Amino acid sequence: MQRLLDQAAILLLCLVGAYFTTGLGTEIVAAMLTAVCAAMLATYFSIDGRKTGGRESVWISSWICLAYAAAGIFRAELLLFLPAMIYICLDEERPAFKWCWAVPAAAGLASGAADDIWIVLLLGSLAALMQYRRASFDSMRGEYRNMQDAARERSMRLEQKTRELREKQDYEVRLAMLSERNRIAREIHDNVGHLLTRCILQVKAMEVVHQGEPEIGEQLEAVRDTLTDAMNNVRNSVHDLHDDAADLGMELRSLAREFTFCPVKLSYDGGSPPREVRLCILGIVKEALSNIARHSDADRAAVTVVEHPAFYQLVIEDNGSVWETESPEGIGLENMRERVSVFHGVFRIIRDSGFRIFVTIPKEGKR
């Protein structure tokens, strides 16, 4: 758009210059119309060559300017509008195209075809200055856009790093919390649980000693029942703490690290499934990795766990050959199938370009 405005301004100034030098005769009007047509065609091919990268369009634009400048040798009025061609040529990068107008224009001016050389030189200099201003503006605009893109890219990288740090921090906090729960569960089990067990055994021993004393026996029985209830409550609390502290993602990562037969790529986005589902997925993964080590010649494996709105999905795959020693009704695969059937899930095997196990376990309300 800026090119068109600049060329319109240059042509208007050329027309004003021609009016004050030679007047607006028929030849001047015809020269102006010729210059407008040539400028429009040259501009079109020049822009097209920049967009598409085609050299043919640039050649056509340069030849139009060259032909116009050469025609000025024979028609002096055409040279009065030569600054419009100068503006177009100076926009090219290659020197041959940039200065193609200079030789015929100089020949035309030197031959005396144009009596008012000063107006052509003045407007040509103005066209060169306008082209330089536009090129500088485009360069500054390009640099500004590059700076915007770089700033946006840095902002995206910063947001990604911040998100990764936040996720890592949340993971470390959860890991510390789970470790503390496990420690508390162990402390209760090892200390309080053992003390209660010893107390129960001691009360039972006292009941044997005082079998002939009903009153004391009833009191000891009440104490034993109370200690048994306390023991059951402690056991349930320990189990609840251990279940809350268990994290499926952490356990799968531990399995992947400890599996030495081949590298295992783990992709986990399974959330926090219920205890029964967690144990089912763990059992299937352990059995599958064991089968890979025993029956496959794979050099890499992958485990993927994804939580969907209605079900949990587990995919285990390797790039080894088919497990020939593990039949479709083998014990390991049958155990996996039975685990999934408890939840009314889907268990599917694909033996193509490796070995794949697809498991789908519906959520509680979707079964």
Can you give the CATH number for the domain in which 291 is found? 3.30.565.10
Bigger pLDDT: 33 or 149?
Answer: 149
- Predicted local confidence at residue 212, as pLDDT: 75
- 59-73, 113-127, 150-164, 342-356, range with the lowest pLDDT: 113-127
Of 365, 326, 366, which Cα lies nearest the Cα of 357?
326
> Over 90: is that where the pLDDT of 313 sits?
yes
> Over 50: is that where the pLDDT of 74 sits?
yes
Looking at the structure, tell me whether residues 9 and 57 fall in a common domain. yes
Read off the pLDDT of residues 7-21 as tens digits, 9 standing for 90 and up: 777 777 777 777 666
- Predicted local confidence at residue 95, as pLDDT: 63
Which pLDDT band, with edges at 50, 70 and 90, does 107 fall under?
Answer: low
Read off the pLDDT of residues 210-226 as tens digits, 9 standing for 90 and up: 777 788 878 888 888 88
- Predicted local confidence at residue 312, as pLDDT: 92
Read off the pLDDT of residues 111-148 as tens digits, 9 standing for 90 and up: 654 456 667 777 777 777 887 877 788 788 888 888 98
Q: 51-60, 151-160, 191-200 — which one is most confidently predicted on average?
A: 151-160
Looking at the structure, tell me whether residues 262 and 360 fall in a common domain. yes
- Predicted local confidence at residue 301, as pLDDT: 92
- Predicted local confidence at residue 285, as pLDDT: 92
- Predicted local confidence at residue 144, as pLDDT: 87
- Would residue 138 count as lying in a domain? no
Looking at the structure, tell me whether residues 84 and 49 fall in a common domain. yes
> Over 60: is that where the pLDDT of 73 sits?
yes
User: Is-contact 114 108, C-beta < 8 A?
Assistant: yes
Beta bridge partners of 302: 265, 317
- Predicted local confidence at residue 367, as pLDDT: 57
Tokens found for residue 172: 């470390």
Q: ∠ CA(312), CA(313), CA(317), 5° rounding?
A: 155
- Would residue 303 count as lying in a domain? yes
C-alpha dist (Å) from residue 207 to 185, 194, 197, 213, 223: 31, 20, 15, 9, 10
pTM of the predicted protein model: 0.44
- The overall average pLDDT reported for the chain is 78
- Would residue 204 count as lying in a domain? yes
- Predicted local confidence at residue 316, as pLDDT: 93
> Over 90: is that where the pLDDT of 361 sits?
yes
> Over 90: is that where the pLDDT of 359 sits?
yes
Domain that holds residue 288: 248-366
Which pLDDT band, with edges at 50, 70 and 90, does 325 fall under?
Answer: very low
User: Is-contact 357 317, C-beta < 8 A?
Assistant: yes
Looking at the structure, tell me whether residues 9 and 33 fall in a common domain. yes
Read off the pLDDT of residues 279-312 as tens digits, 9 standing for 90 and up: 899 889 998 998 888 888 888 899 999 999 899 9
- Would residue 132 count as lying in a domain? no
Domain boundary among 52, 82, 115: 115
Looking at the structure, tell me whether residues 298 and 229 fall in a common domain. no
Looking at the structure, tell me whether residues 329 and 269 fall in a common domain. yes
- Number of folded domains in the chain? 3
Determine the longest span between alpha carbons in the chain, in angstroms.
146
Domain boundary among 222, 245, 268: 245
Which pLDDT band, with edges at 50, 70 and 90, does 278 fall under?
Answer: confident
Looking at the structure, tell me whether residues 182 and 102 fall in a common domain. no
Domain boundary among 100, 115, 130: 115
Percent of the chain with pLDDT over 70: 79
Looking at the structure, tell me whether residues 239 and 302 fall in a common domain. no
> Over 60: is that where the pLDDT of 190 sits?
yes
Looking at the structure, tell me whether residues 7 and 104 fall in a common domain. yes
- Predicted local confidence at residue 140, as pLDDT: 87
- Predicted local confidence at residue 365, as pLDDT: 62
- Would residue 158 count as lying in a domain? no
C-alpha dist (Å) from residue 360 to 37, 242, 305, 353: 71, 26, 10, 21
> Over 70: is that where the pLDDT of 269 sits?
yes
- Predicted local confidence at residue 113, as pLDDT: 47
Percent of the chain with pLDDT over 90: 11
- Predicted local confidence at residue 114, as pLDDT: 47
Q: Provide CB contacts within 8 A for 170, sequence distance 6+.
A: none
Looking at the structure, tell me whether residues 18 and 111 fall in a common domain. yes
